[in-house]
Amino acid sequence: MEDTRLDIPAIADNLKKIRKFVRNYIAKCDRLESFSDEIVLAIDEACQNVVRHAYKDKEGDVTVKLSFRNNEFIASIEDDGIPVIPGKIKPRDIEDIKPGGLGTFFITQIMDSVSFQLNSPHWVNCLTMKKKINNK
C-alpha cells in the first residue's frame, strides 16, 4: 500500500478528521480492516496528547504518516510542540479509576512497538507506532 500523510492544525476539532483519514487508509489495506478500531484509537490518543500537551500554550500542526508493507502497519505522529521527555511518559495504573490518563496505556496495549524520536530538522517530536499483521 502506498504511504500517505496528513498535515493538519493540532486542535481538538480536527481529531475527527484525523480518525476519518486513518479509517480511510486502513479500508484500502488488505488484512488491516479487522484492526481498524484499535489502530484508530491508538492514533487518536496520540494526537489528543499532541493537542493537549505539545501545543498547550501555542498553536501548531500535527503530521500523521501511515504506511503498510510487509505485513507491518506504521503510524508516525510528528509535531513541533513542547519537547517530550520519554522517561516521564508512563501510563497510569488501569486500576486507578478516574477520567483521562489512559491514552499511553491503550497505545502500548494496541501497538507492538512504540518509540519516540526527538529533534529533527523537520519536527521536534515524533512518535512511531508499529503493529505486525500476521498472514492468515
Contact predicate 4/65, CB 8 Å: yes
pLDDT of residue 136: 55
Put the strands of the sheet holding 125-132 in their side by side order.
Answer: 4-9, 61-69, 72-79, 125-132, 113-118
pLDDT of residue 90: 61
Could you state, in order of their start, the residue ranges of all structural domains in the chain? 4-132
pLDDT of residue 120: 78
pTM for this model (two decimals): 0.89
Contact predicate 9/59, CB 8 Å: yes
CATH topology assigned to domain 4-132: Heat Shock Protein 90 (3.30.565)
Average pLDDT of span 1-28: 96
Lowest model confidence (mean pLDDT) among 10-24, 32-46, 122-136 = 122-136
As a whole number of angstroms, the distance between CA 101 and CA 41 comes to 14
Cβ-based neighbours of 4, under 8 Å, separated by 6 or more: 21, 25, 65, 66, 67
Lowest model confidence (mean pLDDT) among 5-19, 21-35, 37-51, 92-106 = 92-106
Contact predicate 94/102, CB 8 Å: yes
Neighbours of 42 (CB within 10 A): 26
Q: What is the tens place of the pLDDT at every residue in 5-17?
A: 999 999 999 999 9
Top pLDDT among 99 and 53 is at: 53
Q: What is the tens place of the pLDDT at every residue in 76-132?
A: 999 999 888 777 666 556 566 554 566 788 899 999 999 988 877 778 899 999 999
Cβ-based neighbours of 11, under 8 Å, separated by 6 or more: 51, 59
pLDDT of residue 103: 76
